[in-house]
Amino acid sequence: MTKTAESFQFKAEIQQLLNILVHSLYTDKEIFLRELISNASDALNRVQFEMLTNHDVLDPDAELGIWLSVDEDAKTITIRDTGIGMTHDELIENLGTIAKSGAKEFLERLKESKEHATEIIGQFGVGFYSVFMVAKEVEVLSRSYRKDAEAVRWVSDGSETYTIETAEKPDRGTTITIKLNDDSHEFANLYRLENIIKKYSDFVTYPIYVGEGDDRRTANQQTAIWRQSPSEVEEEKYNEFYKQLTLDFTDPLAHIHLSVDAPVQVKALLFIPATREGSVFSLRKEPGLKLYSRNVLIEEYSTDLLPNHYRFVHGVVDSEDISLSVSREAVQNTRVINKLKNLLTKRVTRALEEMGKDDPEKYRKFWDEFSPFIKEGIATDPTTIESLAPLLRFPCSTCEPDELISLKDYVEKMSDGQEEIYYLIADSIAAAANSPHMDRFKKRNIPVLYMVDTMDTFMLTTFREFDGKKLQNVETAKLDDTDEDTAIDEAAKEKLPDDQFAEVIARFKSVLGERVEDVREAKHLHSSPVRLVAPEGSEGQEMERIRRLLEKDYKIPKRVLEINRGHPIVQNIAALLKTDFGKADLLIEQLFDNALLAEGLHPNPAEMLPRIQKLMEMLKG
């Protein structure tokens, strides 16, 4: 027999608080089902734990599960579990008091700080109340695991009061009946509810049954692949899960399956995709990992778990150590999250390093797709240099065509006495290979890294050293003269003495005028007639290239033109200065344009065509 229902009043601020919870806290009404299933799963966990040491419980042999049914005509949803259940006092404590610290304190803090509700209510356990987003009335019928406890019914329409009365319920657990409001009739549909379960609660440990009688079926998978031991999962299973997770029909390049208990408890399964451009059917429209707590989806795209330069990584992370905000929709910024991020970042970096070492061919595929992300990480966060630099790969002057070299391999191949890692910035590998700055390095077979990617220039603003070796631009590199260099210089002076060479320099200055900062003799050229270098004390080639990329009204900087007196073209100009200034000036203009072109600085190469044609006409058959 039931007793007369007792009426209780919520705390004075309940209406205001419920309004915040329903309209400000949750971004999607469907989350109510996730919250109720999560609460049911918690209740099942608790009774399972209780039965480890206490066998004197109500219904000890009852299946641990969750049952869901709808009445489409009455517009109701019923959710039943065989969990730990609640007594009369526990219902008042758990459902009658939204926040043990007090609704008044919450509202005062919200008013004073003017923060968004989700930012400050992590201590309020109110997930159950999300049900009032869809309900005009909720009935909770519960019986505790304690054999002597009576069943109790709790009823509320979300107003200022609720009622509690004893009731008839022979079995253990809790049954929640939801009468849907007029704006939520869409949820009186099993197919709709099954989709919500698949989205948020597919990996809840206990079976979730939907429907009744012969139509009853299990809606969730229960066993999450990331919670299995890696030794139990075959490669094909990983690939299948990746395709299900992303709708990318190409196998991933690699997966990272980890289970760790310290310094933070986490089970995760991460994937390195084969391409950075997702499938047109891709489920993920923004960066981030799926974040679970106790197999319940908390955040669809969490960007707090990996640094931005690893945003291409797909996967799921499940941790029971996470402290959640009240809505389960936002993870509080805690030390646990920072530990998770640190751990996952290190594991991704280690996996990429191992791929580069153990499977260079696969790593090359990764690098071709994702190198801009790695370089972006170094450019935007100098603290990542030590961890990301080993992942870098570059073409180089001594490499085979299409070969890339790591900085570690470069350092190991450095000749005795070489203290710097040499690099050259250019628009392409061909432009780098033909750069006049490469003359002496080619002659001595000193390897030079070719920085031909746009992100290389930005990266070099912060990345200046590796393994104790300074990175040195070949444009400003100083190489000691060898005996061979001295002999070449002496031979050049014999062919073009100082007085004649001074006349050449003077003519270059006269023709080029304000377009150059200065004209002087080159000390590092062999096969090239001229080269352009930055003036002493200027901001350097790296910053100039960045300005060129970013500034709308970029102007070509004045450079110093260095002339190789031993080159035949320069010697021809010296001879022409005695007979034909016009032809000499044409050659000077063309050499300057060639130098601009080699540096990637020429604003309009097509302007050279008439002059080139004139020079061709000067040739005699």
* CA separation for the pair 73, 603 (Å, rounded): 74
Q: Check: CB of residue 225 under 8 Å from CB of residue 240.
A: no
pLDDT of 116 reads: 44
CATH number for position 180: 3.30.565.10
Write out pLDDT tens, residues 470-489.
999 998 888 888 888 888 88
Strands in 161-167's sheet, in edge-to-edge order, are: 6-9, 161-167, 151-156, 135-143, 173-180, 76-81, 66-71, 208-210, 217-218
pLDDT of 121 reads: 34
Q: Is residue 147 domain-shared with residue 214, that is, in the same domain?
A: yes
Is the entire prediction scored with pTM above 0.85? no
The total number of structural domains in the chain stands at: 4
CATH number for position 441: 3.40.50.11260
**Percent of all residues in the chain with a pLDDT value above 70, rounded to a whole number:** 88
pLDDT of 380 reads: 94
Structure tokens at 198: 């698949």
Residue 91 included in any domain: yes
| Torsion sign (Cα): 281, 284, 285, 287 | negative
Residues of the chain with pLDDT under 50: 1-2, 99-103, 114-125
Q: Is residue 50 domain-shared with residue 137, that is, in the same domain?
A: yes
Query: Which residues, 6+ apart, have CB-to-CB distance to 338 below 8 Å?
Result: none
Residue 128 included in any domain: yes
Query: Which residues, 6+ apart, have CB-to-CB distance to 506 below 8 Å?
Result: none
pLDDT of 187 reads: 97
87 to each of 90, 91, 164, how far by Cα in Å? 5, 6, 11
Q: Give the residue numbers spanning the domain of 544.
A: 487-618
Q: Is residue 11 domain-shared with residue 142, that is, in the same domain?
A: yes
Domain boundary residue among 446, 473, 500?
473
Domain boundary residue among 218, 236, 261?
218
Q: Is residue 12 domain-shared with residue 137, that is, in the same domain?
A: yes
Write out pLDDT tens, residues 362-388.
999 999 999 999 999 999 999 999 999
Q: Is residue 497 domain-shared with residue 600, that is, in the same domain?
A: yes
Residue 434 included in any domain: yes
Write out pLDDT tens, residues 322-346.
866 555 555 665 788 899 999 999 9
Q: Is residue 165 domain-shared with residue 263, that is, in the same domain?
A: no
Residue 203 included in any domain: yes
* CA separation for the pair 567, 570 (Å, rounded): 5
* CA separation for the pair 548, 477 (Å, rounded): 23
Residue 248 included in any domain: yes
pLDDT of 263 reads: 86
Strands in 289-293's sheet, in edge-to-edge order, are: 254-260, 266-272, 314-318, 289-293, 296-302
Single-letter residue type at 411: V
